[in-house]
Amino acid sequence: MNLTISDKFEQLVKDKEIQFDQKQYELINILAEKSEEFIAYTKQSLLKRIINKKMNRPLGMYIYGQVGRGKSMIMDLFYNNIDISQKRRVHFNEFMNEGHEQIFIWRKKNGVSRNGDSDPVLMVAKLIEKDCKLLCFDEFQVEDIADAMILGRLFKILFEMGILIIATSNIHPRNLYSEGLNRDTFIPFIDKLEENMEIYNLQAEKDYRIDRIKNKRVYFSPINGQNKKNFHEAWQNLIGSIEVTSRSIPLKGREIEVSVSAGKFANFSFEELCVKPLGVADYLAISNNYNIIFISNVPKLDSKKRNETKRFINLIDTFYENKKILFILAETHPKDILIGGKDANIFQRTVSRLEEMQSSDYLDSIISE
């Protein structure tokens, strides 16, 4: 017997991977019904779907709520257990970045005309429809005017094509692009979204996985077999059943690669964050996308590694100021990471912040928010 999404949720509770939450359970049951409804819709003939069109098409869902309420976990359950092969789950920023790239390539080849068949947005929608009946977005947010300009037309076409869209976000759709340029032109998109998607506020309890951090080690040194094991177990305990993927964060025409990503959790090496030429803008973008960040293999630093030192200082400052939780696997204790050099004085602030970020007061202040 195939287990339903609700069955899978109950099994996770039974196995103590998650705690039971009534609000989460209510949403799971809604998604279970939507799953059955959409599968039945996709099995109809193309002619019947065209005749019935909008009246027969299941509505998508826009799920919003505060950070750490279980949106990613629920999306995992829905996406991994719906019996549809033509589906895609993607971070919203990554999806929009791909769309802009396809439009750029199309216009470079065909010119800038948008008349008749010369519509790059329609082209993007057709490429999506070719491989996808279900589209799931993580972290639906609109901050870029370039995104705002094409969303209305793109989503109108996708809805008309009968593609089911499920999205998670931290904010109500009416607050999307709230400070954006020419926002009045964006309002019709919000109207279209609310017309074609159920809006659901997930008011669940705080994600209990984060409560596991209380009274736990978040800084592991030196780098040896036991601490590597403890560091890895801390990661596994936190992500639970969340799917681990790789992704990229678009930033000003380029991308920040995240090789290990699981919902609001990310796992980096020191080399990925501080040897590569990243800056404050990169660390802020990472901070905006993740709540808990793991950093492995932090070495001792000296005057020969001044660039790495400066990046590490900026990284810790950014994550501290944005109240992120860090798990670190390092060669030595914070006070011994930097050995002399011109940055020794300013590095004292980094030491202080690293030590504070391990404290129960710091962790409790974030967990209780």
Query: For the domain 5-201, what is the CATH code?
Result: 3.40.50.300
CB contact at 8 A, 6 and 28: yes
Least confident among 164-173, 202-211, 279-288, 303-312: 202-211
User: Worst-scoring range by mean pLDDT, 267-276, 295-304, 357-366?
Assistant: 357-366
CA distance 57 to 40: 10
Joined tokens for residue 191: 């109207």
- Please report the pLDDT score of residue 369 as a whole number: 57
Q: What is the pLDDT of residue 45?
A: 62
In Å, what is the CA distance from 62 to each residue of 154, 179, 190?
A: 17, 21, 11
Residue 354 one-letter amino acid: L
Q: By C-alpha distance, which of 361, 225, 230, 357 is closest to 292?
A: 357
Tell whether omega for the bond before 222 is within 30 degrees of 0, i.e. cis. Answer: yes
**What is d(CA 204, CA 368) in angstroms, rounded to the nearest whole number?**
14
**Cα–Cα distance for residue pair 350/124, rounded to 1 Å:** 46
Domain-wise residue ranges, the chain: 5-201, 208-367
Please, what is the average pLDDT of the chain?
Answer: 86
Q: What is the pLDDT of residue 209?
A: 57
pTM of the full structure: 0.65
Name the pLDDT band for 251 (thresholds 50, 70, 90): confident
Q: Give the model's pLDDT for residue 165.
A: 94
Identify which has the larger pLDDT, 43 or 287. Answer: 287
Q: Is the Cα torsion angle 323, 269, 283, 207 positive or negative in sign? A: negative
**Would you state the pLDDT for residue 277?**
94
Before 173, cis peptide (omega within 30)? no
Give pLDDT tens digits for 79-125.
988 888 899 988 787 788 788 888 888 887 776 554 445 788 898 99
Per-residue pLDDT tens digits for 178-189: 878 888 989 999
Q: Is the pLDDT of residue 167 over 90?
A: yes
Q: Is the pLDDT of residue 68 over 80?
A: no
Question: What mean pLDDT do residues 232-237 have?
Answer: 92
Decide if pLDDT at 342 tops 80.
Answer: yes
Question: pLDDT digit string (tens) for 9-29?
Answer: 888 888 877 778 888 999 999
Say yes or no to pLDDT of 51 above 80. Answer: no
User: What percentage of the chain exceeds 70 in pLDDT?
Assistant: 89
Q: What is the pLDDT of residue 211?
A: 61
pLDDT in tens, 308-318: 999 999 999 99
CA torsion sign, 317 to 264 to 174 to 89? positive
Taking the C-alpha atoms of residue 345 and residue 349, their distance in angstroms, rounded to an integer, is 8
pLDDT for 116: 46
* Cα distance between residue 198 and residue 58, in whole Å: 10
Mean pLDDT of all residues in 141-165: 88
pLDDT score recorded for residue 52: 58
Evaluate if residue 280 carries a pLDDT over 70: yes
341 burial type by CB count under 10 A (0-12 exposed, 13-18 middle, 19+ buried): middle
* Nearest of 284, 287, 302, 299 to residue 338 by alpha carbon: 302
Distance between start and end Cα atoms, the chain? 41
Task: Indicate the helix (H) or strand (E) that contains 199.
Answer: strand 197-201
Which is more confident, 53 or 59? Answer: 59
Q: Percentage of the chain with pLDDT > 90? A: 41
